[in-house]
Amino acid sequence: MSGDGDLRRALQQIQAPDEIDAQRRGWSLARAAFEAREPLSWERRHRGTLLAAAAAVVLLAAAISPPGRALVGSVRDAVTDENVTTQPALTSLPASGRLLVNSKTGPWIVQADGSKRRLGAWWEGAWSPNAEFVVVTRQREVAALDPEGNTRWSIGRSGIVRGARWSSEVNPRDTRIAYLNGRALRVVGGNGQEDRELRRRVGISAPAWRPGEFELAFSTVDGRIEVVDAETGRTVWRTVPGEIPKQLVWSEDGERLLALGDESLRVLAANGRKLFSLRLAVGPSGVVFVRDSHRFVMVRYSPATGRSDLELLQAEVDPGEARFLYSAPGEFGSLAISPNGNWLLVGWVNADQWLFLRLTAARVQAVSNISQQFGVSTEGKPIAKAFPTSVSWCCPASP
């Protein structure tokens, strides 16, 4: 009997060939069958997709947490209409914390009770540590605001200012802000003092502070990823040339760095060593780390099918098999993880919705009419032109 048990366990550990693609084909067939039924209203027609999201949450929970693994055996029972709620407006957040939403009308702060405040006609904003302040940019100006929108300090520059990012507190109340001024990379104290140029000419991606350090990752004009000591200006390490990234994201422990481009993803260790890289099809993409881990969720777009997938990967030398989490027609925009790590916010651009996916239970909360709630009309224009460009769920700091 012991031999039979060993054989059974060995067979259970074998992964079927093409398992991930088979999952995707299964989802496509199931959804096609659902949508082939009689014409329905928009709300009812997309209910199948939202139910699919609930199933995806179960899979994601299994990959992330021990409680989640217990849910896998009851997917059929867990995915019901009772697990999916759709609201026409954002009336509250499913977890504590605050959102900083970069909209076409400027940055907005959303409180846990759903109340919103527009910070003004700024182009972009990013949180300070613990969401005490917001650094904002527009044209030739960088400034720090309090959550009420009052200006604490402001600096004018000769070139276009963008990509401002606030560091963590390395020492009590001691922070820095990095930003792009034209093609130069500059750093200023969190109090608006001692503004200086760090590099004369860099790539177009926003810089990223390593958590707990005054070390700053940025891209060079030839696609190298460089980390610099912002206090001394000394280069800590630099990679070989590559694709210029559009997003640089550190893990919360500062031990992993993701460099996401239009056609590739590079996964780096804290010392600059490349752990692995992936080739991507051209299209919408994004990455976010799962709280307190080296796991990350990535948006991967397929031009052939016009669909976006969510996949879970490991930022390790051996990343293992990517776990397929969820798929929907069209484009996914911003990703954000709640401060308690239990919820994933996914911007579903084509549906003008935010999906809040519970990571430890089969629950999905969908909120519609996102663009209009942040002051942008969708009448006569593609939703992609009106949908918010990014969302940060405090805390930690913005990506």
The 10s digit of each residue's pLDDT in 359-387 is: 777 678 999 999 999 988 888 778 888 99
Number of domains the chain is built from = 1
In a domain, 168, yes or no: no
User: What's the mean pLDDT when you consider all of the chain?
Assistant: 83
In a domain, 80, yes or no: yes
Say how far apart CA 176 and CA 131 lie, in whole Å: 14
In a domain, 247, yes or no: no
Which whole number is the average pLDDT over 258-264? 96
**Beta carbons within 10 angstroms of residue 329's beta carbon:** 15
Tens-digit pLDDT profile for residues 132-183: 999 999 999 999 999 999 999 999 999 999 999 999 999 888 999 999 999 9
Say how far apart CA 178 and CA 193 lie, in whole Å: 12
In a domain, 130, yes or no: no
Q: Name the amino acid, one letter, at 17.
A: P
Per mean pLDDT, which range of 243-247, 289-293, 360-364 is the poorest?
360-364
Provide the H-helix boundaries in 19-136.
Answer: 19-35, 42-45, 47-64, 66-69, 75-78
- Domain of 67 in residue numbering reads as 18-118+331-399
**Beta carbons within 10 angstroms of residue 336's beta carbon:** 25
In a domain, 137, yes or no: no
In a domain, 28, yes or no: yes
pLDDT at 362: 63
pTM value is 0.80
Query: Starting from the edge strand earliest in sequence, which strands make up the sheet with 208-209, in order?
Result: 208-209, 215-219, 225-229, 235-238
In a domain, 201, yes or no: no
In a domain, 59, yes or no: yes
**Beta carbons within 10 angstroms of residue 210's beta carbon:** 22
